[in-house]
Each structure stands twice: as C-alpha cells, then as structure tokens.
Amino acid sequence: MSQTQCYEWFKHFKEGRMSVGEYPRPGRPSTSTNDDHVERVHAVIRGNHHLTVQEVADEVDISMGSCHQIVTEELQMHCISAQFMLHLLTDDQKENVVEISQELLANANGNENFLKNNRR
C-alpha cells in the first residue's frame, strides 16, 4: 500500500470510520442479476452449452458483465474450452465419466505401450 493510501485510510478512521469493508454506495442497484435473469441464463446454457458468454448475454438481452457474473457467481459455472462443462451433466453422466476415466487409467497402468504412438 502506498504512503498516500495509508494517509487516506488514517483520515477515514480519524473521521470515525469503523471498518475496512465497503460501505453501501449510492445509486441504483443492479437489475440484471435478478432471479428471472438467472433462470433465463441457466435455461439458455442448458439448451446449448457451446455458447460463449457474449452469445448467452445477447440471447437474454443483458450486458456481458452481468451475464458473466450470473454464470460464475450465481450458477457456479466455469467456461472450459468455450463450453460450460460438468455442472450441466446429470448424476448418471457424471458417474459414466468417472467409470470411463477409471477404465482408461487401469489400461494405462497395465499396458506400458498404452500412450505410445504406433503410427509410422
């Protein structure tokens, strides 16, 4: 923290500030992250998980920043290779992914040539 910032904080505490947390700011609260928009974003992603955040935002008619906040904070989804993955899978599909991964791992451990390229 710079010396100037230290002086600013000292001034705030001297004037009676009791916390380093943010105080409520004046102005309108955000209207883009309401429950309706969260449900609409989730429905669009469930319909096509190959969409980018910008495409989802355009579909729901909200800003890209609000859409990104909904996807990451409200829906707890993360974009991997331009796809919203794993969070959208059913429990059966998740179990299937685990079983296939375990089979591949067993094959790799039991066969030393498993990952070697045999093409010439």
The parent domain of residue 39 ranges over 31-106
| pLDDT at residue 9 in the model | 82
Chain segment 85-115, per-residue pLDDT in tens:
545 667 788 888 899 999 988 888 888 777 7
Q: Work out the average pLDDT over 34-43.
A: 89
Answer yes or no: is 43 within a domain.
yes
How many domains does the chain divide into?
Answer: 1
Residue 96 is assigned to a structural domain of this protein: yes
pLDDT score for 58: 92
Region 23-43 average pLDDT: 78
More confident residue, 3 or 84: 3
Residue 40 lies inside a defined structural domain of this protein: yes
CB 55 within 8 A of CB 48: no
Average pLDDT rounded to a whole number, residues 13-30:
74
| Any domain includes 113 | no
Q: Please check whether residue 99 lies inside any domain of the structure.
A: yes
